[in-house]
Amino acid sequence: MTNNKQQIIAEFDKCPHCGSTRKFAEEVADEQREKGLMGKGLKVGIFQMAGPVADPSKISQMLVGTKVPIISALLDVCMDCGTLYAVRLERGEASLSAIMAQPRGQPPFMPPGMAR
């Protein structure tokens, strides 16, 4: 990848627990679309987790502008059983200067097994 555009890696249309296709944020978004307050095709969820996949101890050694991978997961809740699950997984890349501009107190997302 050579640009900042996010690439969709996977989408999940059914709850992994009960198989329902009813999602909380998506149902609210559908109501907004019916009122003409929201465009079609916009994927919504109740929460999005995102961040760089980079070793925090190495970031200070990287040049400003260095590209690092960014991953994100859009989450929603099943309306039938209440399970919180990922509805979309994406990846992309961002320059180091954009990552360093994140507000303080918000640590970069670290995948399991990469804890400091």
* C-alpha to C-alpha distances, 63 to 17, 55, 84, nearest whole angstrom: 44, 14, 38
Q: What is the pLDDT of residue 95?
A: 84
Domain spans in the chain, listed from the N-terminal domain onward: 7-100
Mean residue pLDDT of the chain comes to: 83
Q: What is the pLDDT of residue 96?
A: 77
- Let me know: does 49 contact 112? Beta carbons within 8 Å: no
Please tell me the distance from the alpha carbon of residue 52 to that of residue 91, in angstroms, as a whole number. Answer: 10
- pTM of the predicted model over 0.75: no
Please tell me the distance from the alpha carbon of residue 11 to that of residue 26, in angstroms, as a whole number. Answer: 14
- Let me know: does 68 contact 4? Beta carbons within 8 Å: no
Mean pLDDT of 30-52: 91
Q: Of 52-66, 71-85, 90-104, which range is least confident?
A: 90-104
Mean pLDDT of 33-61: 88
